[in-house]
């Protein structure tokens, strides 16, 4: 799915205004050499246009190493490091942050939740220092992809799209991916890692049935419908989609026929428990 180089990206910024500036940037880069991660924190960030609400959401005064009460800087380095194994954590001036973002995202498809929010402020940061972005021009929003996929499921069953699937967290849960816990939500790496897990879930075919009548995944069903719609077995598609809709019900906190309430509370996956074949 997508480009041969993928970067899962999230930024924490000083607000949501047009001239917002990122103060924390997480990038998980996946390419032919494997997967590497970095967290870049901007040293001495310019807060002249900062919005108090924006700083509060990302817990800036609790987490930025220059502003938080703790003086422990042991996990940070002020020296730029090349892309390498593990997670590279850096505290650098904005000009160096811009150079690092350029290096880490070069040639990559950017994937995120509302990724334009991130790419816009990152591009502006690069341009303040005479650099131009070299990532793929079309970022991918995993929430938008999930919304479209689930609407296809609803279409297959003749069901209305649930109105309560109206935010990223609900959409993520609907395909079996838990959002980060509160302690990691709205941290750059916590959200970037969430996007990575979500992307991998979509790429592996969420809720795919395991080997029924030669059908290994929903992609196989789609291929079958495309190649021979009259004998594709529309009922197979409807049964699979019904099980997936049960997952949507669980995400929205609704009761699921055939799945006891206590199993829902314990985190049971209705796609595996309600569907008439093993998933």
Q: Average per-residue pLDDT in the chain?
A: 78
pLDDT for residue 212 is more than 50: no
pLDDT for residue 72 is more than 50: no
Distances (CA, A) of 165 to 71, 105, 169, 202, 245: 42, 31, 9, 17, 12
Can you give the pLDDT at residue 84?
44
pLDDT, tens digit, for every residue of 129-142?
999 999 999 999 99
Question: Among all chains, which residue has been given the structure tokens 């985190």?
Answer: 267
**How far is CA 81 from its chain centroid?**
25
Distance CA 189, CA 58 (A): 12
pLDDT for residue 177 is more than 80: yes
pLDDT, tens digit, for every residue of 82-108?
444 468 999 999 999 999 999 999 999
Can you give the pLDDT at residue 119?
98
pTM for the model: 0.72
Percent of the chain clearing pLDDT 90 (strictly above)? 54
Can you give the pLDDT at residue 2?
46
Q: What is the DSSP string of 42-80?
A: ESS---TT--HHHHHHTTHHHH-TTTSS----TT-BSS-
pLDDT for residue 195 is more than 60: yes
Phi, psi (deg, nearest 5) at residue 36: -135, 155
Angle at 10 between CA 6 and CA 14, to 5 degrees: 150
Task: Spell out the domains of the chain, with CATH numbers in brackets.
Answer: 6-140 (3.30.420.10), 142-273 (no CATH)
pLDDT, tens digit, for every residue of 220-238?
544 554 555 454 445 555 5
pLDDT for residue 194 is more than 60: yes
- Please, are residues 143 and 119 in contact by the beta-carbon 8 Å criterion? no
pLDDT for residue 173 is more than 80: yes
Which of 55-69, 108-122, 145-159 has the lowest average pLDDT?
145-159
Can you give the pLDDT at residue 243?
55
Can you give the pLDDT at residue 148?
86
Can you give the pLDDT at residue 62?
95
Q: What is the DSSP string of the chain?
A: ---SSEEEEEEEES-SSTT--EEEEEEEEEETTEEEEEEEEESS---TT--HHHHHHTTHHHH-TTTSS----TT-BSS---S-SSEEEEEE-HHHHHHHHHHHHTTPEEEESSHHHHHHHHHHHHHHTT----S-SS-EEHHHHHHHHHHHHHHHHTPPPPTT--SHHHHHHHTT-PPPPTTTTTSHHHHHHHHHHHHHHHHT-TT---SBTTB-SHHHHHHHHHH-GGGS-HHHHHHHHHHHHHHHHHHTT--BTTB-HHHHHTT--HHHHTSSS--
């Amino acid at each position: 799915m997508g480009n041969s180089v993928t970067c899962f990206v999230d930024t924490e910024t000083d607000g949501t205004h047009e001239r917002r500036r990122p103060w924390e940037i997480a990038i998980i880069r996946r390419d032919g050499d494997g997967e590497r991660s970095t967290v870049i924190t901007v040293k001495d960030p310019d807060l002249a246009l900062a919005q108090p609400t924006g700083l509060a959401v990302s817990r800036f005064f609790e987490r930025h190493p220059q502003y938080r009460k703790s003086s422990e800087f042991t996990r940070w380095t002020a020296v730029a490091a090349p892309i390498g194994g593990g997670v590279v954590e850096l505290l650098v001036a904005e000009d160096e942050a811009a150079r690092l973002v350029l290096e880490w995202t070069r040639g990559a498809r950017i994937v995120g939740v509302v990724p334009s929010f991130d790419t816009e402020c990152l591009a502006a940061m690069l341009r303040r220092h005479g650099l131009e972005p070299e990532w793929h021009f079309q970022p991918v929003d995993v929430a938008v992809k999930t919304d479209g996929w689930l609407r296809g499921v609803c279409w297959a069953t003749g069901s209305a799209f649930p109105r309560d699937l109206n935010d990223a967290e609900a959409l993520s849960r609907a395909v079996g991916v838990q959002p980060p816990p509160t302690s990691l939500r709205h941290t750059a790496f916590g959200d970037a890692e969430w996007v990575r897990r979500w992307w991998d879930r979509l790429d592996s075919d969420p809720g795919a049935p395991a080997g029924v009548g030669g059908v290994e995944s929903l992609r196989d069903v789609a291929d079958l419908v495309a190649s021979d719609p009259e004998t594709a077995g529309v009922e197979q598609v409807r049964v699979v989609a019904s099980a997936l809709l049960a997952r949507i019900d669980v995400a929205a906190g609704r009761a699921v026929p055939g799945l006891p309430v206590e199993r829902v509370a314990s985190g049971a996956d209705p796609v595996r428990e309600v569907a008439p074949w093993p998933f």
